[in-house]
Each structure stands twice: as C-alpha cells, then as structure tokens.
Amino acid sequence: MSVELETLGIETYEIGAKIRRLRKKKDLSLMKLGEHTGTSAGLLSKIETGRLIPTLPTLMRIATVFGVGLDHFFENESEQPKAALVRAKDRVRLPNRTDGHAPTYWFECLDFPVTNRRMDAYLATFKPGARATEPHKHAGAEVIYVIAGSLLVTFENETILLDKGDSTYFDATFPHSYRQQGKAACCAVVVVTNG
C-alpha cells in the first residue's frame, strides 16, 4: 500500500501537515477536532503525521470544520488567489454540532475558497428557543454584527444584548458563548481573526 501511495505521489501534498497547521491556527485539540468531524483523535493523529492518508469523506468533514475547500489540500500554497467570490447559492449551511444534539445555531462560511486567510467570516442563524452555546475560546479576536433579531453574548462574567444593527468586538482567548433572545430568529455576521 505504501508503494501504491508513493506511485500516486499523494504524499507530496503533505495533507497531514496542512491539517495540523489549520488545527493549530484554530487552537483546536485533536480530541475537539474529532468531536467536530466524528473521527477519533488517534486517527487524526495518524493523518497529521503522514502515517495514514484520509478518505475523501473524512477530508471533506475536516475541510468543512476549517471552512476550506478540498482544493486547499491539493494546491501549491504559494499560488494563493488575491480575491475570492462566494455566491449565496454556493454557500453550504452547517450545524454547529455534529454530536447528535440539537444545534444551537447554523453557520455558512463566507470566505471558504480562500486558503491561509487572516480571518474567518460566517453568517450565523440562531433559532428561537435554542440553548446557549458551550463557553469556548480560541486564538485571535472576534467581531459580531447582528443583522436581524437579538443575541445574548456572554463574555467571562458579563452578558450583553445585541439587537439588530449592534456589534461587539472582543478578545476571543477568553471564554465566551452566544444565545438567541426573543421570539424571532437571530442572524449575525461573525468574523474571527486567526491569531
């Protein structure tokens, strides 16, 4: 099997190293990435170290978590596009949870074709009655702009209410969570810097 892989030349793409870089940028553990992808931390470790080549469905789940296209893993990183266009009809809508529990919100990546981007932008929809997200933290800063509805943002021991047109900026290295407020769904643009 290793001879076959060498013949294909797939090892030259360094898929595992690219996954590791994406994971480290997001400050995710192997276990947390495994929860998001439905894959074990042991399997992900083997992929990252190049001992195992991921199947296409596994690679697609990993790409979705990081908001990149499959092409990210098969392109020369020095040939980056200067700009990218994402049509509304081309966006993929995904739940924030894949563990069988009801999602707290749904998100669409607004910049998925761009690799090695300096920020990640999402359109998030919070349904009425959904529970608050688990407190989480990550590298970088975060900006939230509410397009419709209301959103409670808890940052450490403070909770703020954002209504339509409101925005907030905060240091995302501290624990934070979100929860829809009121009878109407909340729609917000969330921008996260990478470090």
pLDDT tens for the 195 residues of the chain, in order = 233 444 356 777 889 999 999 898 888 899 989 888 888 999 999 999 988 889 888 898 898 888 887 877 877 665 556 677 788 888 888 888 777 788 888 888 888 766 667 788 999 999 998 888 889 888 889 999 999 999 999 988 899 999 999 999 999 999 999 999 999 999 999 999 876
Per-residue pLDDT at 124: 95
Per-residue pLDDT at 3: 34
Per-residue pLDDT at 168: 95
Nearest alpha-carbon partner for 147 in 172, 128, 125: 125
Whether 151 and 186 have beta carbons less than 8 Å apart is answered as yes
The CA distances from residue 60 to 64, 110, 136, 180, in Å, are 6, 17, 24, 29
Kindly tell me the burial class for residue 105, based on how many C-beta atoms sit within 10 Å of its own C-beta (0-12, 13-18, 19 or more): buried
Domains of the chain: 2-74 (1.10.260.40), 88-193 (2.60.120.10)
Per-residue pLDDT at 100: 76
The CA distances from residue 104 to 107, 128, 194, in Å, are 10, 9, 23
